[in-house]
Amino acid sequence: MTSRLPKLIAFDLDYTLWDFWIDTHVYPPLKRDPTSGKVIDNQRKPQTIDFYRDVPQILHRLQSAGVMIAACSRTDAPPLAREALNLILVPPRAGDNDNDNDNTSAKPIPAIKFFDQLEIYPSSKIRHFKKLHEKTGIDYDEMLFFDDEWRNQEVEELGVTFTLVPNGLNDRILEKGLRDWRKRRPAQVDDDAV
């Protein structure tokens, strides 16, 4: 039996999915190198724009489980954040080519395609989650939020489960968040269940 998952998992961007502040450390325009596929900014010594190591497989895992994925960022550079999500390519899920008989490989996917909802604008996370609730109809207690800033724990006032991400999202932090969410929401048994 698979453990229950939240209906919606939201992620902050800066220092949660990637290791910079998009509105401070990154200089537009961004571009993707056609050979390597790496995204870089416009500095004299260009910065690579990419996710933390575990993030691509986490996105694949959540998407394949049917979890709605959201980005919630209070950045002062929303267009640049969206541009980065459009340009970052997420490699195919590990094992996707195992049964591929015609030797064509699965192609990388723009990161933005993994996100069902984007709340990227300067504001409180409370406002971001109220918008998510309004747009999706998902109850707050069916939402889990990962962020590197403790102050954003304020979303728990709404019923959202908050998980602090001290050094970038990884599998261990994801599992901790899921455990915490499940503790707050014990499995419900239907009256008809045997």
**How far apart, in Å, are the Cα atoms of 129 and each of 31, 83, 151, 153, 190?**
31, 22, 15, 12, 29
Sheet with 68-73: list strands edge to edge.
117-120, 68-73, 8-11, 143-147, 161-164
Cα–Cα nearest to 13, from 98, 87, 120 = 120
Q: How far apart are CA 142 and CA 173, in angstroms?
A: 18
Active site residue 171: no
Q: Is residue 191 assigned to a domain? A: no
* Whole-number pLDDT of residue 186: 75
Q: CATH code at 51?
A: 3.40.50.1000
* 82-129 tens-digit pLDDT: 999 999 999 998 776 555 544 446 899 999 999 999 999 999 999 999
Q: Which of 14, 41, 50, 148 is catalytic?
A: 14
Q: Is 85 helix (H, G, I), strand (E, B) or coil?
A: helix
What count of Cα atoms within 13 Å lies in the side-chain half-sphere of residue 2?
5
**How far apart, in Å, are the Cα atoms of 133 and each of 10, 74, 139, 159, 183?**
12, 17, 7, 11, 22
* 51-79 tens-digit pLDDT: 999 999 999 999 999 999 999 999 999 99
Q: Is residue 1 assigned to a domain? A: no
Residues spanned by the domain of 46:
8-94+107-184
Q: How far apart are CA 91 and CA 88, in angstroms?
A: 10
Active site residue 12: yes
Q: What does DSSP say about strands 68-73 and 117-120: parallel, antiparallel, or unpaired?
A: parallel
The helices-and-strands tally (H runs, E runs) of the chain is 4, 10
Q: How far apart are CA 117 and CA 111, in angstroms?
A: 13
* 173-191 tens-digit pLDDT: 999 999 999 999 876 644 4
Number of domains forming the structure of the chain: 1
Q: Is residue 130 assigned to a domain? A: yes
More confident residue, 31 or 99: 31
Residue 80 structure tokens: 């640049």
Q: Is residue 51 assigned to a domain? A: yes
Mean pLDDT (the chain) is 92
- Cβ-based burial of 50 (10 A; exposed 0-12, middle 13-18, buried ≥19): buried
Q: How far apart are CA 97 and CA 105, in angstroms?
A: 6
Q: Is residue 50 assigned to a domain? A: yes
Q: Is residue 151 assigned to a domain? A: yes
Q: Is residue 177 assigned to a domain? A: yes
Q: Is residue 102 assigned to a domain? A: no
Rg (CA), the chain: 18
